[in-house]
Amino acid sequence: MKTILANVSTSFFVRNFLRTDVLQILNEKGSIRLVLLAPWEKLAYYRREFPQNFLVFEPLPEVRLRKVERFFKFLETSSIHARTTFISSRTALYRVGSKVRLVQRYLIFVFQRIFWHLGRFRWWRNLLRKIYFVLPNSAFDGILEKYRPDLIFCSTMVYMEDYVLAKAAKKRGIKVLGMTLSWDNFYGKTFLLVKPDWLFLHTDFIKEQAEKFGDFSRERTTVVGIPQYDRYFRKTGLKTREEFFKEIGADPSRKLILYGFSGKAGLDIEFDIVDILAEAVKKKELSEEVNVLIRPYPRYDFPQEKISAMKTRYGFLATPAVFHVGSGKGDWEFDEKSINFLLNSLAHADLVISMYSTFFIEAAIFDKPLVAVAFDGYQKRNYWNSARRFFDWEYLSDIKPLDGVWLVRDKEEFIRALNKYLSEPGYLLEGRRKIVEKECQFQDGFSGERLGKALLDFI
């Protein structure tokens, strides 16, 4: 019996790993035990959702609240010498409505600038890695002693749980495999403070980033694709348009506009954009009558009362983005219902609006016209607080030259883009294909299988 141990440190891991073909591949191998460390308040939920005999769920040790871990996470992200982190540090300094005192913000900013400049040097990054590695942390000692795993899989290489686990495993001579979580990771979330022995990556493009920002050798990487997008390429769980429209209460004679919220950074602006969209529908500024479906961002899902209020105020369609279980900021999960609803929302939308989310990739897979919001609704904001800054973040500026997303810079262009796409959905088609080629690479629907087999190669 061989044992693999991994952290369930984010609900994205559940979607990206547990709800893909990876589990089936590991299960079919036999003689494999997969030990998953999860937040204690979600253990019962995970055990119900994933009852396979080869899975063992144990409580995930709490490490994020420890001051030394928080300090090194600050050091790591501040030392990523990228435009994204440069912009983010300025935004934190000049943030509108910040509850942090100005003096404290300036002090943080000064240190961020120092570390950002130092971050261009490999010797600095290696120094931080060496210092962090020798710092003691026994949080995972008990679990490693109990299960004596043959392999550690760190599925994010972003959260401190993975770093603490990887460090403890390496000190015991246990092989550590890592994988990045998303397309933005190397631009603002990790330079691999603890390097795994081997790294799985979504694309060759991210492999370049791993070498540049993470000092990671190309020879110790495997590109596997994006497992959570397999069901998109296979159209797994796809309903007919009639079935889906009936489910959400949409008018089948009208086209569907999907608005996907992006997250905390632009949340207050996005409600202005929803207002503008509602006004355009009400005043018949669009070339035809439409359904509008609002998709909250999972981590900042809307409570039922807000969804009901949006339906009443705008007449728009809306539903919670995820299933809620647990407590705090991590009280959400991608259950099968949530994932299938998202797939059908993308598949049956006639155009998609967002600000800075992965919707620009996901909707492109379904060849949906894409509108990126790059203005501040009814507000006039400085650059550091404006939606204008988002497409200067590297992971978004990378797709800008592909000409697959219409970047709208004011209300008039916003309405013009919607009308153009409603009448000519094939507009910017080639650019959308280029986005999928660059950001997904594999389009065969077998990325989960590739990852599962790649993991088994190390057993």
Is 304 in the same domain as 402?
A: yes
Is 106 part of any domain? no
Is 48 in the same domain as 168?
A: yes
Q: Which two tokens stand for residue 54?
A: 């080869």
Is 277 in the same domain as 137?
A: no
Please report which confidence band the pLDDT of residue 157 belongs to, taking 50, 70 and 90 as the band edges. very high
The beta strand positions in 206-254, using DSSP E, are 221-223
Is 169 in the same domain as 311?
A: no
Is 271 in the same domain as 387?
A: yes
Is 102 part of any domain? no
CATH of the domain at 151: 3.40.50.2000
**What pLDDT, on a 0 to 100 scale, did the predictor assign at position 309?**
84
Q: Nearest-CA neighbor of 254 among 263, 243, 266, 245?
A: 245
CA distances from 196 to 11, 191, 245, 404 (A): 22, 12, 46, 35
Is 203 in the same domain as 334?
A: no
Query: Which residues partner with 57 through β-bridges?
Result: 36
302-348 residue pLDDT tens? 888 888 888 888 999 999 889 888 777 778 899 999 999 999 999 99
* Alpha carbons 317 and 315: distance in angstroms, whole number: 7
Domain membership of residue 242 as a residue range? 235-439
Please report which confidence band the pLDDT of residue 173 belongs to, taking 50, 70 and 90 as the band edges. very high
Measured at the CA of 420, the angle between CA 381 and CA 388, to 5 degrees, comes to 15
Is 450 in the same domain as 412?
A: no
380-398 residue pLDDT tens? 999 999 999 999 999 999 9
CA distances from 145 to 138, 141, 148, 174, 358 (A): 11, 6, 5, 12, 39
Is 153 in the same domain as 203?
A: yes
Is 330 part of any domain? yes
CA 149 to chain centroid, in Å, comes to 28
Residue 267 has pLDDT above 90, yes or no: no
DSSP string, 57-89: EEEPPP-TTSHHHHHHHHHHHHT--SHHHHHHH
Q: Is 41 helix (H, G, I), strand (E, B) or coil?
A: helix
Rg (Cα) of the chain, in Å, rounded?
Answer: 22
Is 432 in the same domain as 450?
A: no
Is 161 in the same domain as 35?
A: yes
* Alpha carbons 234 and 18: distance in angstroms, whole number: 18
Is 210 in the same domain as 301?
A: no
Is 195 in the same domain as 306?
A: no
Is 112 part of any domain? no
Q: Look up the pTM and report it.
A: 0.95
Count the domains in the chain. 2
Continuous segment of H or E residues that includes residue 256:
strand 255-260
